[in-house]
Amino acid sequence: MDSHYDYRRYGILYVDDEGLSLKNFERAYRDTFRVFTAPTAEEGFKILEEHADDIAVVMSDQRMPGTKGVQFLERVRKFRPRTIRILATAFSDLDAAIAAVNSGAIYKYITKPFEGEVLEHTLKRCLEFFIVQRERDQLLAEKLSALHKMVITDRVLGLGVLAAGLGQHVRNSMAAIRTFVDLAPEMLHRESLDLGSLQNPAFWHDFHAKVQDRMKALVELLNHLSENSRPERFEFDGEASLRELVTQAASRLAEPLSRKRLQLVNLIPADLPLLRVDLPKAQKLFELLLRDEAANLQENATVRFEAALSPEGDRVRIRVEDNGPGLPEESLRALFDPFASRGSAGDEFGINLMGCYFIVHHHGGSISVQPGNEGGLVFQIELPLKPAPGPSIVESEEFLVRVMTNERLWERLLATA
């Protein structure tokens, strides 16, 4: 049975204030196990912190000055719950050892003085248990991950199906509503109704304008949903100046940027090397980003673009910072979810940022967001100068998981599995 396990794969930490006991332990077992020793609980804990992923078993003497063995092992349990904990104790301390086992502070206890073969057998069984436990956790994580990818992939592809399948029906229904709204003012005139006799004529004008705006927004949402979730391959057959891409995107969005009186500061150096890109998608990248800023920032806000080459010279690092109200830390992880709402009004979705994420990823780059130093958000984008051809959106399951996942929620699920 022993031959099936590598007993030096993980280490054993022995903590005891008796120097001779530490030396004897190391001499007896260093050829069989990876041995760490420490004369105090504090030094033992420092070793555990430094080699946390390498230590499987922690054995501690009960009678030590200051921190007792049970107290030390309880601290170990809180720090590394999966680590196997053994208490070495004399017969006079059996009550404390039994209490520690019952409370879950230790896996088992052994009595001093040690019997060499018995202790070796015990340590081997502990290592085997730890290894099996670790392999089980990894297998479970892989199965959960596979299930998660299936769910997320289905969710993303469902966005395109939703947009394509329902889009036309929604547009047809909205066309009838829009016709009614458009004809309403004319029909009131035909009926010879004095508009001034209405209690509040301004209300009906505002109502008409708002209905038109919301219908337009719904059509745009459907268009973005369909466009940004469509599986396709990227063709990196164009070259573009990064500074010009941002300038052109700002020009195309002049009206919404002007409406909010947003100030765009383009500090991207003009002499940066040209990017090899899928030109229509690269142009869309900064348009989507600015569209999201225009939708969610307050009036008179500033959006600042900066960029520089990476130290290796093969990538461009782009920093986009705004001075808006920002978001709490827990909201940033889900910012690229297409149904996450960034604005306080709750009527703007993350379709734009999801599109940015897709485009950057398929250029072989990365995009992240973090809080600004003085409020607002900072988008960090990295793009290679010459991206390699990548897989289609459907093929890239790992990417789909990153796009659609609230990572903190998934981490909690794995932690409790």
Q: What is the pLDDT of residues 154-182, one digit of tens each?
A: 555 555 555 555 555 555 555 555 565 56
Which CATH number belongs to the domain containing residue 25 in this structure? 3.40.50.2300
What gap in Å lies between CA 316 and CA 243, rounded to an integer?
12
298-307: pLDDT as tens digits: 899 999 999 9
Mean pLDDT of 184-201: 55
Residue 284: domain span: 238-391
- Measured on CA atoms in the order 1, 123, 89, 28, is the torsion positive or negative? positive
Virtual torsion, Cα 343, 383, 357, 256, nearest 10 deg: 40
Same-domain status, 385 and 353: yes
What gap in Å lies between CA 314 and CA 260, rounded to an integer?
36
Same-domain status, 176 and 245: no
Cis preceding-peptide flag for 389 (omega within 30 of 0): no
| 102 vs 161, higher pLDDT | 102
Nearest to 355, CA basis, from 317, 393, 299: 393
> Which range has the top average pLDDT, 109-123, 134-148, 189-203, 265-279?
265-279
Same-domain status, 203 and 94: no
Domain presence at residue 257: yes
Same-domain status, 189 and 54: no
Q: Which residue, 200, 228, 256, sits at the end of a domain?
A: 228
Which of 284-288, 387-391, 411-415 shows the lowest mean pLDDT across its residues? Answer: 411-415
Same-domain status, 253 and 150: no
85-95: pLDDT as tens digits: 998 887 656 77
| pLDDT for res 123 | 92
Same-domain status, 206 and 263: no
Domain total in the chain = 3
For 164, residues 6+ apart whose C-beta sits below 8 A from its C-beta are 226
pLDDT band of residue 410 (cuts 50, 70, 90) is very low
Does the structure show a pLDDT above 90 at 42? yes
Domain presence at residue 411: no
Nearest to 166, CA basis, from 212, 211, 219: 219
Q: Which residue, 180, 207, 228, sits at the end of a domain?
A: 228
Tokens of 153: 């992939």
What gap in Å lies between CA 83 and CA 60, rounded to an integer?
13
Same-domain status, 261 and 377: yes
For 56, residues 6+ apart whose C-beta sits below 8 A from its C-beta are 10, 11, 12, 83, 84, 126, 127, 130, 131
pLDDT band of residue 195 (cuts 50, 70, 90) is low
Same-domain status, 242 and 385: yes
Which of 68-82, 261-275, 390-404 shows the lowest mean pLDDT across its residues? Answer: 390-404
Tokens of 83: 């680590």
Domain presence at residue 405: no
Domain presence at residue 375: yes
What gap in Å lies between CA 63 and CA 100, rounded to an integer?
14
Share of the chain above pLDDT 90, in %: 31
Same-domain status, 21 and 100: yes
Which of 63-77, 128-142, 155-169, 225-239 shows the lowest mean pLDDT across its residues? Answer: 155-169
Same-domain status, 308 and 377: yes
Which of 34-38, 91-95, 315-319 shows the lowest mean pLDDT across its residues? Answer: 91-95
pLDDT band of residue 204 (cuts 50, 70, 90) is low
Instruction: Return the biggest CA–CA distance within the chain.
Output: 108
Share of the chain above pLDDT 70, in %: 62
What gap in Å lies between CA 222 and CA 215, rounded to an integer?
11
| 197 vs 25, higher pLDDT | 25
Beta bridge partners of 318: 307, 381
Domain presence at residue 358: yes
pLDDT band of residue 138 (cuts 50, 70, 90) is confident
Domain presence at residue 57: yes
| pLDDT for res 415 | 47
CB 29 within 8 A of CB 35: yes
What gap in Å lies between CA 71 and CA 78, rounded to an integer?
11
What gap in Å lies between CA 110 and CA 260, rounded to an integer?
72
Domain presence at residue 399: no
Domain presence at residue 202: yes
Same-domain status, 110 and 203: no
Beta bridge partners of 109: 87
User: For the chain, first and last CA: distance in Å?
Assistant: 28
Token pair 């009678």 in the structure block, residue: 63
Does the structure show a pLDDT above 70 at 199? no
The pLDDT mean for the chain works out to 76
CB 105 within 8 A of CB 77: yes
Which of 103-117, 135-149, 237-251 shows the lowest mean pLDDT across its residues? Answer: 135-149
What gap in Å lies between CA 349 and CA 385, rounded to an integer?
31
Work out the number of other CB atoms within 10 angstroms of the CB of residue 154: 11
| 156 vs 135, higher pLDDT | 135
Which CATH number belongs to the domain containing residue 305 in this structure? 3.30.565.10
For 246, residues 6+ apart whose C-beta sits below 8 A from its C-beta are 264, 266, 268, 286, 305
212-270: pLDDT as tens digits: 666 666 566 555 555 554 545 567 889 999 999 999 999 999 998 999 899 999 999 99
pLDDT band of residue 113 (cuts 50, 70, 90) is confident
Same-domain status, 301 and 175: no
CB 58 within 8 A of CB 48: yes
Q: Which residue, 114, 131, 150, sits at the end of a domain?
A: 114
Instruction: Give Cα 174 distance to the centre of its chain.
Output: 37
